[in-house]
Amino acid sequence: MAAAEASIRACRPEDCADVARLIRELAEFENLSDQVKISEQGLREDGFSQDPFYKCVVAEVPPECRSKAGHTLVGYGLYFFTYSTWKGRNIYVEDLYVMPEFRGKGIGKKLMSAIAKIGLDRGCTQMRLAVLDWNRPAIDFYLGKGATDLTAAEGWHVFRFEQAAMLCLSSGE
């Protein structure tokens, strides 16, 4: 199967079950399965409401190229828009995932290209993402496509506040 056989399109509400499956696969690959709390219903509500929190593109193969398990949705790129006070509009890629049996066929590049085009069409000046430090294939892929490793180049560290910390902050603690 070649990348040309995989089409990239906007995610639809009826794709949420497959996207949830792919999210679980990605979490398992990253050894973080216990952290996945999102459901198909949550994805549908958060991505397809009047004011969606995210957008998503999916990689779909024809039925004759389906996965060993019978799936035709074999990858996804989930993104949302952010803002830089220095550069203006940004697009943030939360996840980029292609099922292992479909890797090395150009599908990840097609997903990234689609997201980059969406960002450019919306006036974004940067596309940002994070990758685990041990995921050398992903790091090499992004660097090979022109990304800058901000930790190495500028010393930036990414932080996250979990809900408990947010509660403390919101109460003035």
Provide the annotated active-site residues.
142
Q: Would the pTM count as exceeding 0.85?
A: yes
Please give the distance of CA 95 from its chain centroid, rounded to a whole number: 2
| pLDDT tens per residue, range 26-81 | 999 999 999 999 999 999 999 999 999 999 999 999 999 999 999 999 999 999 99
Find tokens 């901000």 and name the residue.
Answer: 150
- The answer to whether residues 73 and 56 touch, using CB atoms and an 8 Å cutoff, is no
